[in-house]
Structure 1
Amino acid sequence: MRVRTEAKRESILETAAEVFMEMGFERASMSEIAARMGGSKATLYSYFPSKEELFFAVVHHKVGEEVEPAFQDLPSKADEEPRALLTRLGERLLVAVTAPEAIAVRRMVIAVASKSSIGQQFWQYGPQQLHDAMASYLERATEAGRLNVRDPSAAAQHILALFSSEIDWRWIFGLQNTFTRAEIKQAVARAVDVFLAAYGR
């Protein structure tokens, strides 16, 4: 009986990330990943039952581990001063999603979104969870008298879109692939200004 280990799982994720980045989601195969690991497909499948599950595990490994902690307890911070909280959150989010591997992942998803359910799964796996946590925070912050939000779901879409509004179009069209901390801080500061002009007290 094979013994699964965390070290082996980490090794699989790193190898899979290399293959996905190099070949894209469609061309990457479990056979290629297993071959580069120097192991068998049976071992690979014992950790990840499908290529889709392995892909989303890679996404979490490379992006989700940086983003999720900032959002997990967000609703509990409704009493905090919104500007400082949203600024910290926006900066952490943009640092994570503008990392080269994160941009490569999103490009892969965009490339196959019209041909498969990967786009929908990606939304449910990551962005939807961020949206839901943000909507819950905005509702509670309004109840606490910190904000003035009538539609938390729509406002959550607004702030998340504002965070990336100065960044996304640059990498989507290949105009810029790396972003400095200064660029991120400036983009987030302006996003929070616009959001609070609409929803602040």
Structure 2
Amino acid sequence: MRVRTDEKRREIVRVASELFEEHGFERTSMSMISERLGGSKATLYGYFKSKEQLLAAVLLYDVTDQADRLMNEFLSSDDLREGLIKLGVAYMTRRLSSVPIANVRMVANQPSDSTLGKEFFERVLEPAWQRLARRFELMMDQGLLKRADPWVAAMHWKGLNEWDMFEKRLLGAIRGPDLVEINRASTLAADAFLQLYGPEKPKKKARAKG
């Protein structure tokens, strides 16, 4: 029964995400969601008490699932530079795709007294970035990265990869991910990150004269 309940919850979240993207949060009603699901509103409200609660679940599932995938992408490479490039490409390709952009717009369009944005950051985004920070900290412990504040390192990595592409996509200046630009940005970001945080190379000993 528990498995079926989790499956149903995920189905509701998936359908809600589709409708939010198609019609926007404000124009999507709980009736529209239950109609597409093929069930009753009573069943829908049994899982989610409000549309805002459902939106929070959409955001949580999307970011958590993608964070898992991105971390696996990073860890699949034996070479640090290659892993950083692969992580950057995967992150920015997803970051600039339609669903994450629609989600950010929905959160940003909430009333000023809404706590949804704050909760989204504290419960979803921050923990996802903390995972990368912890991975960087482990690599620092292993001597693969220079010792530094792991959270600052994660935020530097984020900024190096995003360039101005996220703002352009959010504001409609570009229509979607440009893989050529993303690959270029991710490669340059990996090299810049390793310049900042790569392990210090041992100094060569001066040869004795004589």
The whole-number CA distance in structure 1 between the counterparts of 2:73 and 2:100 is 23
- C-alpha spacing 1:184/1:135, structure 2 compared with 1 (3 Å): same
Compute the displacement of 1:8 (Å).
4.5
Instruction: Specify the SS of the correspondent of 1:178.
Output: coil
Instruction: Report the TM-score, using the length of structure 1 for normalisation.
Output: 0.81
CA contact (8 A) 2:64 2:128 kept: no
The whole-number CA distance in structure 1 between the counterparts of 2:35 and 2:194 is 52
Matched residue, 1:83: 81
Matched residue, 1:170: 168
The whole-number CA distance in structure 1 between the counterparts of 2:11 and 2:64 is 18
Matched residue, 2:50: 50
Compute the displacement of 1:27 (Å).
4.2
CA contact (8 A) 1:147 1:199 kept: yes
The whole-number CA distance in structure 2 between the counterparts of 1:135 and 1:191 is 16
Matched residue, 1:69: 69
Matched residue, 1:12: 12
CA contact (8 A) 1:4 1:47 kept: no
Q: Is structure 2 residue 147 aligned with structure 1 residue 149?
A: yes
Instruction: Specify the SS of the correspondent of 2:180.
Output: helix
The whole-number CA distance in structure 1 between the counterparts of 2:162 and 2:104 is 13
Q: Amino acid of the residue matched to residue 41 of structure 1?
A: K
Q: Amino acid of the residue matched to residue 34 of structure 2?
A: A
Segments of 5+ residues of structure 2 without an aligned counterpart are 200-210
Greater mean deviation of Cα atoms: 4-13 or 147-156: 4-13
Compute the displacement of 1:44 (Å).
0.4
CA contact (8 A) 2:29 2:51 kept: yes
- C-alpha spacing 1:140/1:14, structure 2 compared with 1 (3 Å): closer
CA contact (8 A) 1:34 1:40 kept: yes
Q: Amino acid of the residue matched to residue 28 of structure 2?
A: A
Instruction: Report the TM-score, using the length of structure 2 for normalisation.
Output: 0.78
Compute the displacement of 1:42 (Å).
0.8
Compute the displacement of 1:56 (Å).
3.2
- Cα offsets for 1:119-147 (capped at 9, x unmatched): 12222343212211111112121121111
Matched residue, 1:34: 34
Percent identical residues: 35
Matched residue, 1:134: 132
- C-alpha spacing 1:199/1:10, structure 2 compared with 1 (3 Å): closer
Compute the displacement of 1:35 (Å).
3.8
The whole-number CA distance in structure 2 between the counterparts of 1:161 and 1:65 is 22
Instruction: Specify the SS of the correspondent of 1:126.
Output: helix
The whole-number CA distance in structure 2 between the counterparts of 1:117 and 1:22 is 24
Q: Amino acid of the residue matched to residue 56 of structure 2?
A: F
- Cα offsets for 1:109-166 (capped at 9, x unmatched): 2222744112122223432122111111121211211111321111111111222124
CA contact (8 A) 2:73 2:87 kept: no
The whole-number CA distance in structure 1 between the counterparts of 2:95 and 2:190 is 18
Q: Amino acid of the residue matched to residue 155 of structure 1?
A: A
Compute the displacement of 1:171 (Å).
0.9
Instruction: Specify the SS of the correspondent of 2:55.
Output: helix
CA contact (8 A) 2:73 2:86 kept: no
Compute the displacement of 1:72 (Å).
6.9
- Cα offsets for 1:70-128 (capped at 9, x unmatched): 33797xx5x95421221121122122222212211112122227441121222234321
- C-alpha spacing 1:80/1:137, structure 2 compared with 1 (3 Å): farther
Compute the displacement of 1:60 (Å).
4.7
CA contact (8 A) 1:34 1:41 kept: yes
